[in-house]
Chain A
Amino acid sequence: MSEALALVPKAEAQQSMKDFKSDQEVRWCPGCGDYAILAAVQSFMPELGLARENVVFVSGIGCSSRFPYYMNTYGMHSIHGRAPAIATGLAASRRDLSVWVVTGDGDALSIGGNHLIHALRRNVNLKILLFNNRIYGLTKGQYSPTSEIGKITKSTPMGSLDAPFNPVSLALGAEASFVARTIDSDRKHLQGVLRAAAAHPGTALVEIYQNCNIFNDGAFDTLKEKGTAQEALIHLEHGQPIRFGAPAEDGLGSKGVVRDQATGDLRVVDLTADGVDVTQVLVHDAHAASPTTAFALSRLADADTLHHTPIGVLRDVDRPVYDTDMAEQLEQAVVQNGKGDLAKLLAGGDTWTVAG
């Protein structure tokens, strides 16, 4: 069991997916990508074997934020953008809990952007699942902070003027110790990322590409359809060369990510071309101390076409965990000053006595 979950009590009996389903009817639109994510999470949780009462899901506002109602754990559906702040207080004061935040691109990156970056900076023991559908769903179809420039929506009939955020780049810039990306429809990959996130001590940000079939249908089809995914999607595996595309003679992808010697930046090369040295392909190191390469990887994708989108764990490094350090300060204070004595505290300072 990883350090991240060491203080969380374990379930006494074997759990199943059913144990994590609440009695509430799920009310997302039929065909919504959220269903797949919910099922993936519910079927993943038994693997952790945590006492269900010690698991808490906290969310903000938006379609994805209804998630806690459907989990048979403790849960709070809070207000727009504030889930990371609320979860921070909970996680910092209760280290025996496994605290998960469910949020969306509008919730986390627009109204709640400040709380997200500060949670990442502090490295509180939280697992943040950011459902990114690149649109506002619950308010019926306005562009979001991850929508592409020029997007036609109800609020942008002539096209959106806003440059989008890249959530992974943003998280890395905010000193995140764990950043991953996955896709709603790929349960195996999604659960693999959840597994790594759950084991990570500190804040884990998992961006999940999620299809909104009503207002932004097919936003990630390039990454999902057989015909295009092979060329568009880059699977990152720690310790493996970063290769993708149609298999080359060695069975690995015929395209690779290499470092440009002139600029230091990363670029994609065709490994079958003449004069290309396969050994120059970058080997993915999720545990690299510097976030520089992870950031460069996050910038490979084309914001419009999503070509060269890396998925998997981009960064997973150990650094001090806020709630652990906070608890240690409390213990240290007791060692230094003794356990708090209220009578002594109140009577501290200069005093004088009035006789009766």
Chain B
Amino acid sequence: MTSQVSSPTAPGNQPASAGVLGEQRQPAKETKRLDRVIIRFAGDSGDGMQLTGDRFTSETASFGNDLSTLPNFPAEIRAPAGTLPGVSSFQLHFADHDILTPGDAPNVLVAMNPAALKANLADLPRGAEIIVNTDEFTRRALQKVGYAANPLEDGSLEGYSVHPVPLTTLTLEALKDSGLARKDAERAKNMFALGLLSWMYHRPTEATETFLRKKFAKKPDIAEANVVAYRAGWNFGETTEDFAVSYEVQPAASAFPAGTYRNISGNLALAYGLIAASSQSELPLFLGSYPITPASDILHELSRHKNFGVRTFQAEDEIAAIGAALGAAFGGSLAVTTTSGPGVALKSETIGLAVSLELPLLVVDIQRGGPSTGLPTKTEQADLLQAMYGRNGEAPVPVVAPATPADCFAAAMEAARIAVTYRTPVFLLSDGYLANGSEPWRIPELEELPDLRVQFATAPNHTAADGTESFWPYLRDPETLARPWAVPGTPGLEHRIGGIEKQDGTGNISYDPANHDFMVRTRQAKIDGIAVPDVVVDNPDGQADTLVIGWGSTYGPITAAVRRIRREGGHIAQTHLRHLNPFPPNLGEVLAGYRRVIVPEMNLGQLAHLLRAKYLVDARSYTQVTGLPFKAEQLAQAIVKESVDV
């Protein structure tokens, strides 16, 4: 649904980079201006589609468009070539205005082979542009994915605007003097495609060339080949008659508050949030982690920043990963473990120990499709109840969830604040969509970051009747109910803590029934009493009697859906939860103020379950567990349907 604002614009408006490509420009082609575009790059898992998407995203970000991305790839590293399960794709939505999702349906599909076409065609609206690599449409490749006839020839693509391009042949032709083996030269075809798309959408090219030269610095011939293929793709667009029109999408300047921006993925923002939390708390960062999709990137990223005093420990298993983190927390580190749902299951016992020890610990769960191994590379929000309740005994743990990829930065700092202030493990529930998706992020000034400094205990805190002073590890702060954090190395505060129930105050082993009852209730009261901000409701005309409430990564699709409903004249209120435990103090009152409460979630209604249980509200669930984020249009229709009285 690309809307056309004006056309054509003067060729003088072309990005200056057009001139660097080394060829005399052809007479200007028509340029149309669009307000937004959704492109999907699709190919074999070995075709470099994620890299192609990443580069187009970087070009788009530096051009100043608002954007949102959705990488989508199989769990297999290299599934059999040319098959449907092997298709990897990268969707990018960019616009001259503020956008919230990677888009429902692509306007443009780049299909590198028949499998990519077949796997993605159903998502395309009629009229969409399809750029296909005709070289790959051989009989064998077609048969492999069950095409009886060539869809490029049998008329089945009528209604789409198909651009047949022999991408492989053109790439090989462009590289015929490179001296590269055919196999190596062929691998540059994704850069040819990127060049073509960069021409079509007037993307700046310099940064990609710099990137390629840096990425392949150790193989200069490969670097050069990629640059040549990239330029050839651009020039192909410029010269061939098949591409008569190119498109402009103006920067989204008015969508962004003033500031310096960069494009950032959720996992990168989360890793930066942890480093920032370490800096703001003046505590060294310790990460205990075991590789797991889609969380491993955080381990990789933090491992690159040892000059911040960051210690990363790749453990023998998930249990050791959190165990080491807990040990580091005892020693006074800002301790973190990163994982996904199956890892959380393994860590449960240690999370319970952290609840009992009352030590700060961040448990970062990048949720993926479950149960069990489930869908490792796909997104889901189905670990909420696991985070809330997945432990033996009464073991309450605060839960924080980021709403967008860039928001992972602030959410990580908020989780750290709760952990160090209240001396408790905290769940940070991101998901695969946030982790790999990206969007522009306004880089904060350091002065904007919260002060997370904490006081370690330094002196005895108890005086006995006879005047002797001692240290009681479970003597609480009356305000926060947090216990003192006395780290080894502090003289006079030697103490023992453990998972066995302890006496209030002294922390000594206690099996006393009344004491246990008191301690269970006190641990719960500490979590219930955590200061979290009220939710803010967006109800612009004040006329809505339906509230849509979500949490985590559904923020983008829900907000986009709400905008659609409002554009059609509908009245709808929206709020979104960052804090899932404890809930914001005004939440009950907010929910009670609406006739209908609708809860869209990528699970079978876990937040709805919590809201119904706690607030006795007749929350209606709208759920989807496809491993993919909601589409705004579909969600808008569902909300409208659900908001009608039955």
Give A residues with C-beta under 8 Å from B: 9, 22, 24, 51-56, 58, 61, 68-69, 71-79, 82, 85-94, 96-97, 114-115, 118, 326, 329-330, 332-334, 336-340, 342-343, 345-356
Q: How far is the CA of A54 from the CA of B262 in the complex (A)?
A: 45
**Chain A residues, CB < 8 A from B320:** 82, 85, 88, 114-115, 118
The residues of A that contact B324 with a CB separation of less than 8 Å are: 85-86, 88-89, 92
The 8 closest A-B CB pairs, nearest first, are A77-B498, A89-B324, A356-B258, A89-B327, A340-B308, A85-B323, A333-B306, A90-B327
A-binding segment of B124-132, B331-339, B371-379: B331-339
Q: Closest B-chain residue to A355, C-beta based? A: B258
A121 to B509, CA, bound (A): 34
Closest Cβ of chain B: how far from A107's Cβ, in Å?
Answer: 13
Residues of A contacting B276 in the complex (Cβ-Cβ under 8 angstroms): 342, 346
Chain B contacts with A in 35-74, Cβ cutoff 8 A: 58, 61-64
A-facing residues in B228-256 (Cβ within 8 Å): 253, 256
Give the distance in Å from the alpha carbon of A152 to the alpha carbon of B499 in the complex. Answer: 32
Between-chain CB contacts (< 8 Å), 27 pairs? A74-B494, A74-B496, A76-B496, A77-B499, A85-B324, A86-B330, A88-B323, A89-B326, A89-B329, A91-B327, A93-B328, A93-B331, A94-B328, A118-B320, A333-B305, A339-B307, A340-B275, A340-B305, A342-B276, A347-B260, A349-B263, A351-B261, A352-B61, A352-B260, A353-B259, A354-B258, A355-B258
- Asked if A52 contacts B494 (CB within 8 A), the reply is yes
Verify A342–B316 contact, CB threshold 8 A: no
Give the distance in Å from the alpha carbon of A67 to the alpha carbon of B310 in the complex: 32
Q: How far is the CA of A332 from the CA of B306 in the complex (A)?
A: 9
B139 smallest CB distance to A (angstroms): 43
Closest to B498 in A: A77
A86 touches B323 (CB 8 A): yes
Chain A CB count within 10 A is highest, among B256, B331, B352, for: B331
**New A-B pairs, 16, CB < 8 Å, besides A75-B494, A94-B488:** A24-B508, A61-B499, A68-B496, A74-B494, A76-B496, A85-B319, A85-B323, A86-B324, A92-B328, A326-B311, A340-B307, A340-B310, A345-B308, A354-B253, A354-B259, A355-B258
Whether A89 contacts B328 in the complex (CB less than 8 A), given A73-B494, A77-B496, A77-B498, comes out as yes
Assess whether A89 is in contact with B496, with CB atoms less than 8 Å apart: no
Q: Is B444 an interface residue (CB 8 A)?
A: yes
**In whole angstroms, what is the CA distance A340 to B280 when docked?**
13
Q: Is B174 in the interface zone, CB < 8 Å from A?
A: no
Q: Is the CB of A354 within 8 A of B496?
A: no
Q: Tell me the complex Cα distance, A300–B193, Å.
A: 69
The complex places the Cα of A336 from the Cα of B308 at a distance, in Å, of 12
Which of B316, B357, B493, B508 lies in contact with A118, CB distance below 8 A?
B316
Indicate whether B490 reaches chain A with its CB closer than 8 angstroms: yes
Q: How far is the CA of A51 from the CA of B489 in the complex (A)?
A: 8
- Distance of A174 from chain B, by nearest CB (Å): 11
Query: How close is B10's CB to chain A, nearest CB, in angstroms?
Result: 23
In the bound complex, how far is the Cα of B475 from the Cα of A313, in angstroms? 44
Inter-chain CA distance A90–B26, complex, in Å, is: 67
CB distance from B187 to the nearest CB of A (A): 24
Measured in the bound complex, the distance between the Cα atoms of B63 and A350 in whole Å is 10
Chain B residues with Cβ under 8 A from A339's Cβ? 307
Residue on A with the closest CB to B327? A89
Instruction: Identify A351's interface contact among B260, B316, B352, B445, CB under 8 A.
Output: B260
Q: Which residue of B lies closest to A9 (CB)?
A: B489
Nearest chain-A residue to B309 (Cβ)?
A330
What is the chain A residue whose CB lies nearest that of B279?
A: A342
| Pairwise interchain contact B508-A330, C-beta atoms closer than 8 A | no
Contact A90 B493 (CB under 8 A): no
Q: What residue of chain B has the Cβ atom nearest to residue A72's Cβ? A: B494
B63 CB to nearest A CB, Å: 8
Interface-centre pick from B260, B275, B305, B489 (highest chain A CB count, 10 A): B489
Asked whether A97 lies within 8 Å of B326 as measured between CB atoms, the reply is no
- Establish whether residues A85 and B64, one from each chain, have CB atoms under 8 Å apart when the complex forms: no
CA distance A330 to B323 in the complex (A): 22
Question: In this complex, what residue of A is CB-closest to B252?
Answer: A354
Q: Which residues of B contact A118 (CB under 8 A)?
A: 315-316, 320
Q: Are A53 and B494 in contact (CB under 8 A)?
A: yes
Contacting residue for B261 out of A22, A53, A340, A354, CB 8 A: A354
Given contacts A77-B496, A115-B316, A340-B307, contact A93 B284 (CB under 8 A): yes
